[in-house]
């Protein structure tokens, strides 16, 4: 096939999210993947690397990749060999938060394009350094905020800001308030939760799940094409014994009195993990701020205007992977939908909230020194 886009991926950090990512990347046959189903995009996973051991990478290949994939996947017991492999087009970094800065820095130094798991880094200073380095080296760099490519997000965004829109207002009028939450039970006794409770790994619910709730606020207030001044932020949190935040709430006040009210918690699973967008002429509700399936749009009399539900073959991470493939094929150096400025703004917001709630990490992981 001519004009086929072949993307050779490498995964660094064969953990839990990497499993979801790889299976979506390679195996989803969702009908909303026209470029993959038609063969225009071909994703190939050619490397899986563990910093701990070769066995870890091999176990991941054998046990975590659900279907027989292909013989292309090579396993490595270190990250360096992968970064030196010229066949790798892009690395997906799925390691614990505390390592994001140093591993991404190394990948860029080795001239690799990078899809970096969220949170992009543990602080704003680190984010600035990585974005500057990617720019200098003319490499593609994107934070893996996968919700941005989900069809529910895309539909709502398009409806509010494109269809039927007149002047500066959205289709539901002036957006005055956005209320969002994401909460799951994070049981401290569960060894798999170590990364959430451990400050040395960049733990806490804010950077783990709060970021999803906050991105709706940043994404839908002030867009499109009009940047608002940095908001006034007031945050509060309950901290775990380890010092990381385990239940956190923040109010973001933007110019013209627009409010974002965002929360996240590790104490319970909030069945109403909803996003609520209130405009002067209507409102929007979304069922889940991380992996949405369904949305409702109401007019100013709360009469339902649109309700749509999606089901996916897979978890929905493939929307992001296919977007990355198209960006790479076009030679883009960042996603036009989730830019590096968006990631920088978020890192600034997260720093501000962490400062207020007193969730401090050890100096070595906040550092911008490269070992
Ligand atoms: N997009 C999403 O929806 C989503 C969901 C969950 C998590 N995440 C993000 O994805 C990242 C990984 O989360 P996860 O739940 O997959 O974590 P995980 O399974 O606990 O760990 C991921 C991998 O990090 C690697 N790692 C590298 N350096 C490490 C160190 N110093 N200590 C411990 N592990 C280290 C380990 O692989 P090796 O040692 O074998 O290299 C491990 O398998 C986090 O940044 C998280 O915020 C995103």
Question: For the segment 200-229, what is each residue's pLDDT rounded down to a tens digit?
Answer: 999 999 999 999 999 999 999 976 667 789
Count of residues making up the chain: 371
Q: Is the CB of 208 under 6 A from ligand 1?
A: yes
Q: Give strand pairing partners of 253.
A: 232, 259
Helix (H) or strand (E) segment spanning residue 136: helix 124-137
Residue 85 has pLDDT above 90, yes or no: yes
Report, as an integer, the average pLDDT of 237-243.
97
**Residue 137 exposed, middle or buried by CB count within 10 Å (0-12, 13-18, 19+):** middle
Helix (H) or strand (E) segment spanning residue 180: strand 175-183
Q: Is the CB of 144 under 6 A from ligand 1?
A: yes
Q: Is the CB of 113 under 6 A from ligand 1?
A: no
**Residues 193, 10, 71: CA angle, nearest 5 degrees:** 110
Atom of ligand 1 nearest to the CA of 51: 41
Average the pLDDT over each of 161-170, 286-295, 319-328 and give the range with the smallest value.
161-170
How many other C-beta atoms lie within 10 A of the C-beta of residue 324? 26
Give dist(CA 223, CA 290) in Å, integer: 20
Domain ranges (residues) in the chain: 5-146, 151-312
Question: What is the average pLDDT value for the chain, to the nearest integer?
Answer: 94
Highest mean pLDDT, choosing among 191-195, 269-273, 326-330: 326-330
Parallel, antiparallel, or unpaired for β 232-239 and 175-183?
Answer: unpaired
Q: Is the CB of 262 under 6 A from ligand 1?
A: no
Residue 332 has pLDDT above 60, yes or no: yes
Report, as an integer, the average pLDDT of 63-81.
85
Tell me, in angstroms, the distance from the centre of ligand 1 to residue 195's CA.
Answer: 8
Q: Is the CB of 52 under 6 A from ligand 1?
A: yes
Give residue 350's pLDDT: 98
Q: pLDDT-based confidence at 162, cuts 50/70/90? A: confident
Tell me, in angstroms, the distance from the centre of ligand 1 to residue 100's CA.
Answer: 10
Average the pLDDT over each of 22-26, 160-164, 209-213, 334-338 and give the range with the smallest value.
160-164
Q: What ranges make up the beta strands (E) of 192-320?
A: 232-239, 245-253, 259-265, 275-279, 282-286, 294-299, 304-309
Average the pLDDT over each of 68-82, 128-142, 159-173, 194-208 and give the range with the smallest value.
159-173
Tell me, in angstroms, the distance from the centre of ligand 1 to residue 259's CA.
Answer: 33
Q: How far is CA 5 from CA 122, 140, 223, in A?
A: 33, 16, 32
Give Cα 31 to chain centroid, integer Å. 23
- Phi, psi angle pair for 204, to nearest 5°: 110, 150
Q: How far is CA 203 from CA 73, 187, 244, 363, in A?
A: 31, 14, 6, 14
Tell me, in angstroms, the distance from the centre of ligand 1 to residue 182's CA.
Answer: 19
Tell me, in angstroms, the distance from the centre of ligand 1 to residue 321's CA.
Answer: 18
Atom of ligand 1 nearest to the CA of 12: 41
Tell me, in angstroms, the distance from the centre of ligand 1 to residue 174's CA.
Answer: 39
Tell me, in angstroms, the distance from the centre of ligand 1 to residue 94's CA.
Answer: 5
The per-residue pLDDT for range 94-130, each reduced to its tens digit, is: 999 999 999 999 999 999 999 999 999 999 999 999 9
Tell me, in angstroms, the distance from the centre of ligand 1 to residue 282's CA.
Answer: 40
Residue 3 has pLDDT above 90, yes or no: no
Nearest CA to ligand 1 atom 33: 96
Choose which residue among 96, 101, 120, 346 to substitute to test ligand 1 binding: the one with the highest number of ligand atoms within 8 A of its C-beta. Answer: 96
Tell me, in angstroms, the distance from the centre of ligand 1 to residue 13's CA.
Answer: 6
Q: How far is CA 214 from CA 27, 110, 113, 169, in A?
A: 30, 32, 26, 22
CATH class of 5-146: alpha beta
Q: Is the CB of 260 under 6 A from ligand 1?
A: no
Q: pLDDT-based confidence at 305, cuts 50/70/90? A: very high
Average the pLDDT over each of 43-57, 64-78, 133-147 and give the range with the smallest value.
64-78
Closest residue by Cα to residue 284 from 302, 309, 267, 258? 302
Q: Is the CB of 95 under 6 A from ligand 1?
A: yes
Residue 29 has pLDDT above 80, yes or no: yes
Choose which residue among 10, 12, 13 to substitute to test ligand 1 binding: the one with the highest number of ligand atoms within 8 A of its C-beta. Answer: 13
Q: Is the CB of 94 under 6 A from ligand 1?
A: yes
Tell me, in angstroms, the distance from the centre of ligand 1 to residue 56's CA.
Answer: 13
Nearest CA to ligand 1 atom 38: 50
One of 3.40.190.10, 3.40.1010.10, 3.30.360.10, 3.40.50.360 is the CATH number of 151-312, namely 3.30.360.10
**Residues 154, 292, 130: CA angle, nearest 5 degrees:** 70
Atom of ligand 1 nearest to the CA of 291: 3
* Percentage of the chain lying above the pLDDT 70 cut: 96
Residues contacting 316, CB < 8 A, separation 6+: 24, 146, 150, 291
Give residue 69's pLDDT: 61
């Amino acid at each position: 096939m001519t004009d086929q886009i072949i993307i050779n991926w490498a995964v660094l950090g064969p953990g839990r999210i990497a499993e979801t990512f790889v299976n979506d990347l390679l195996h989803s046959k969702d009908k909303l993947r026209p470029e993959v189903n038609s063969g225009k995009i071909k994703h190939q996973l050619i490397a899986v690397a563990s910093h701990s051991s070769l066995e870890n990478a091999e176990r991941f290949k054998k046990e975590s990749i659900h279907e027989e994939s292909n013989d292309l996947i090579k396993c490595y017991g270190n990250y360096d060999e992968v970064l030196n492999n010229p066949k790798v087009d892009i690395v997906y970094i799925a390691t614990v938060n505390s390592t994001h800065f140093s591993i991404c820095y190394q990948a860029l130094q080795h001239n690799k394009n990078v899809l970096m798991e969220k949170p992009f880094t543990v602080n704003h200073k680190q984010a600035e350094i990585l974005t500057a380095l990617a720019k200098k080296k003319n490499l593609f760099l994107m934070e893996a905020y996968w919700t941005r490519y989900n069809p529910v997000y895309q539909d709502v965004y398009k409806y509010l800001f494109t269809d039927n829109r007149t002047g500066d207002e959205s289709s539901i009028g002036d957006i005055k308030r956005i209320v969002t939450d994401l909460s799951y039970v994070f049981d401290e006794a569960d060894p798999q939760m170590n990364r959430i409770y451990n400050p040395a790994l960049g733990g806490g619910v804010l950077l783990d799940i709060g970021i999803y709730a906050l991105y709706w606020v940043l994404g839908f207030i002030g867009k499109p094409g009009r940047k608002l001044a940095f908001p006034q932020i007031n945050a509060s949190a309950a901290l775990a014994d380890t010092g990381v935040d385990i239940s956190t709430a923040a109010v973001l006040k933007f110019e013209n009195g627009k409010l974002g009210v965002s929360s996240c918690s590790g104490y319970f699973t909030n069945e109403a993990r909803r996003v609520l967008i209130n405009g002067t002429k209507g409102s929007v509700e979304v069922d889940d701020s991380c992996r949405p399936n369904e949305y409702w749009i109401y007019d100013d009399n709360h009469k339902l205007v649109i309700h749509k539900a999606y089901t996916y073959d897979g978890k929905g991470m493939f929307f992001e992977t296919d977007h990355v493939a198209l960006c790479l094929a076009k030679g883009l150096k960042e996603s036009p939908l989730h830019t590096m400025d968006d990631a920088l703004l978020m890192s600034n917001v997260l720093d501000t909230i962490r400062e207020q709630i007193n969730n401090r990490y050890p100096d070595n992981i906040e550092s911008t020194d490269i070992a």
